[in-house]
Amino acid sequence: MFAFFLKRLGLLIPTFLGITIIAFGFVRVLPGDPVLLMAGERGLTQERYDALLKQFGYDRPIWEQYFEYLGNLLSGDFGNSLVTKQPVLEEFFARFPATVELSLCAIILALSIGIPAGIIAASKRGSFLDQTIMGTALIGYSMPIFWWGLLLIIVFSGTLGWTPVSGRISLLYYFPDVTGFMLIDSFISGQKGAFTSAIRHLILPSIVLATIPLAVIARQTRSAMLEVLGEDYVRTAKAKGLSGRRVVGVHALRNAMIPVITVIGLMVGTLLAGAILTETIFSWPGIGKWMVDSIFRRDYPVVQSGLLLIAAIVMVVNLLVDLTYGLINPRIRHN
């Protein structure tokens, strides 16, 4: 198992280097001059422009800039934002808990509905219920997130007034950040109603962010389940006279979960991509919204280091998934 772990870890290094090149190169092929944008549109003399270009090192050959960037990264310096002038790492971690909190709620929601829905659909294969579940999943998968989010806001917040429109907590509550996770901070603040308010604010964004993963998980669970249900050991279990619930819940489900876990790992990337839109709609102060704002402002250091940090997170989560996979299925680690 340790050798398996080392092998996986070793693969991360070239992947990480590849991502630094992509992040660095990608930002530089974007049209737009960061110095002009930083300085504003109101005119900049050529001398001032040259001075700023030099100050940021954008006048130097691109490979020289890349190696300096890589060197800084290795010493833990992710650069400063051109806009706020603050360290990128500090900016990232100020927003990261908000994204994690929302993503966790979304994935819990997706799993707690998606897996049972997939199991039901598989065990009632071909029935009206199966078709309804799979049809709904297809709609969920194809839903334009922005439209879906706004629709929910208009119906549940605007017309019915059941949920708040946006934000993380009612503005009536104010307490210092301890963990950055609103559910925890509101709970330990001891302020009456704060925790409930934080939960109410999570409902709509979690639903919107969970929609695509939920659909994928439901479909994946269904097809994995169908495959397993046709296996000999399931037939044997049935022949032994076990109840249908026990056959599905114990014998089939455990084996069907292996591909589902892989999908969950891949979903982390989807969640972070979905967070960009969801956070923008719900004014959720996470890293997705931060990245979008930074791209529009041509904030080079934020975009390239932000991309890198997000990629690193996806890589680490996938490593963990691979390891879990290896734990569940010994054949993988021995191969």
Partner 1 sequence: MSTAMMPVNASQAKTLVYCSEGSPEGFDTALYTAGTTFDASSKTVYNRLVEFEIGTTKVNPGLAESWEVSSDGLEITFKLRSGVKFHSTDFFTPTRDFNADDVLFSFDRQRDEANPWNSYVEGASWEYFNSMDMPALIKDIVKVNDLTVKFMLNRPETPIIANMAMDFASIVSKEYADKLEAAGTQGLLNQQPIGTGPFQFVAYQKDAVIRYKAHPNHWAGKQPIDDLVFAITTDNSVRTQKLKAGECHVAPYPNPADIAGLKADDTLNMLEQEGLNVGYLAYNTKVAPYDNPKVRKALNMAINKQAILDAVFDGAGKAAKNPIPPTMWSYNNAIKDDAYDPDAAKAMLEAEGVSGLKMKIWAMPVARPYNPNARRMAEVMQADFAKIGVEVEIVSYEWGEYLKLSKAEDRDGAVLLGWTGDNGDPDNFLAVLLGCSGVGGSNRAQWCHQPFDDLIIKAKQEPDQAKRTAMYEEAQVIFKEQAPWATVAHSVVFMPMSKKVTGYKIDPLGGHWFTGVDLAE
Binding mask 112-141 for partner 1 (x = CB under 8 A): ------------------------------
Segment contacting partner 1 by CB under 8 A, of 70-78, 266-274, 282-290, 319-327: 282-290
Alpha-carbon span 267 to 136, nearest angstrom: 19
Using rule CB under 8 A, residue 293 touches partner 1 = yes
CB of 107 within 8 A of CB of 321? no
Of residues 117, 122, 145, 168, which one binds partner 1 by CB under 8 A?
Answer: 168
Is 25 a residue that touches partner 1 (CB under 8 A)?
A: no
- Are 27 and 300 contacting, i.e. CB atoms less than 8 angstroms apart? yes
Minimum CB separation from partner 1 for residue 139, in Å? 22
How many beta carbons lie within 10 A of that of residue 274, not counting itself? 22
Q: Does 154 bind partner 1 (CB under 8 A)?
A: yes
**Does residue 43 touch partner 1 according to CB under 8 A?**
yes
Bridge partner residues of 233 (DSSP): none
Q: Are 326 and 332 in contact (CB under 8 A)?
A: yes
Binding partner 1 (rule: CB under 8 A), the pick from 97, 118, 140, 164 is 164
Binding status of residue 201 toward partner 1 by CB under 8 A:
no
Q: Which stretch binds partner 1 (CB under 8 A): 6-14, 150-158, 239-247, 327-335?
A: 150-158
3-state secondary structure 90-122: HHHHHHHHHHHHHHHHHHHHHHHHHHHHHHHHH
Under the binding rule (CB under 8 A), the answer on residue 44 touching partner 1 is yes
| Nearby residues of 28 by Cβ (< 8 Å), 6 or more positions away | 62, 300
Instruction: Report the residue number, 251 or 297, with the smaller CB distance to partner 1.
Output: 297
DSSP 243: -
Judged by CB under 8 A, the residue of 39, 129, 261, 319 near partner 1 is 39
- In whole angstroms, give the CA distance from residue 120 to residue 225: 10
Identify which of residues 166 and 270 has a Cβ nearer to partner 1 in the complex: 166
Show Cβ contacts of residue 5 under 8 Å, excluding neighbours closer than 6 positions: 323
Binder of partner 1 out of 19, 23, 24, 95 (CB under 8 A): 95
Piece of the chain touching partner 1 by CB under 8 A; list 17-25, 110-118, 256-264, 274-282: 274-282
Q: Quick one: tokens of 111? A: 């799993």
Among 1, 11, 26, 48, binds partner 1 (CB under 8 A): 48
Q: Which of 12, 22, 73, 83 binds partner 1 (CB under 8 A)?
A: 83
- Beta-bridge mates of residue 87: 80
Stretch that binds partner 1, among 34-42, 126-134, 213-221, 309-317 (CB under 8 A): 34-42
Say which residues have a Cβ less than 8 Å from residue 97's Cβ, sequence separation at least 6. 179, 180, 181
80: which strand partners? Answer: 87
CA gyration radius, the chain: 24
| Site for partner 1 contains 290 (CB under 8 A) | yes
CB 297 within 8 A of CB 37: yes
Interface contacts to partner 1, rule CB under 8 A? 31-33, 36-45, 48, 52, 55-56, 80, 82-86, 91, 94-95, 150, 153-154, 157-158, 161, 164-168, 171-177, 191-194, 280-283, 285-286, 289-290, 293
